[in-house]
């Protein structure tokens, strides 16, 4: 089960978030900052899967934006990585060479 989906830039600002499990507002903010700190310190040679609390984080970095899915440890991480890639391909098709500014200013276009 997917618990949440985050798009964060290199400065740690969350550009898009979608929560599928209930979290308090303060808990969401705390999760976002913790996840950012984990991902930004992680070397690129490591895998795109991180054990985080009782969840698994699946992430991918495209053009300075971290796409992160939080799922259960029993879920298939490769299918989550494929879902991130599909989402990026859809954004790229829609915006034509998508960048962070497209997500900020043109998301509801």
Q: pLDDT tens digit string along 30-80?
A: 999 999 999 999 998 999 999 999 999 999 998 888 999 999 999 999 999
Rounded CA separation 53/13 (Å): 22
Mean pLDDT of the chain: 90
Beta strands in the chain (DSSP E): 2-9, 14-19, 49-52, 55-62, 65-71
Per-range mean pLDDT, top range of 40-44, 71-75, 95-99, 100-104:
71-75
Instruction: Give the Cβ contact number of residue 95 at 10 Å.
Output: 15
Nearest to 50 by CA among 28, 64, 34, 65: 34
User: Is the model's pTM score more than 0.85?
Assistant: yes
Asked if residue 103 has pLDDT above 80, the reply is no
């Amino acid at each position: 089960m997917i618990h949440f989906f985050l798009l964060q830039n290199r400065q740690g600002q969350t550009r898009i978030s979608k929560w599928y499990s209930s979290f308090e507002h303060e808990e969401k903010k705390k999760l976002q900052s913790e996840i950012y700190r984990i991902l930004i310190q992680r070397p690129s040679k490591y895998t795109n899967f991180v054990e985080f609390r009782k969840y698994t984080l699946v992430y991918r970095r495209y053009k300075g934006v971290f796409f992160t899915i939080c799922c259960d440890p029993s879920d298939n991480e490769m299918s989550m990585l494929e879902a991130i890639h599909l989402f990026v391909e859809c954004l790229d098709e829609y915006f034509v060479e998508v960048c962070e500014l497209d997500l900020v200013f043109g998301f509801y276009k």
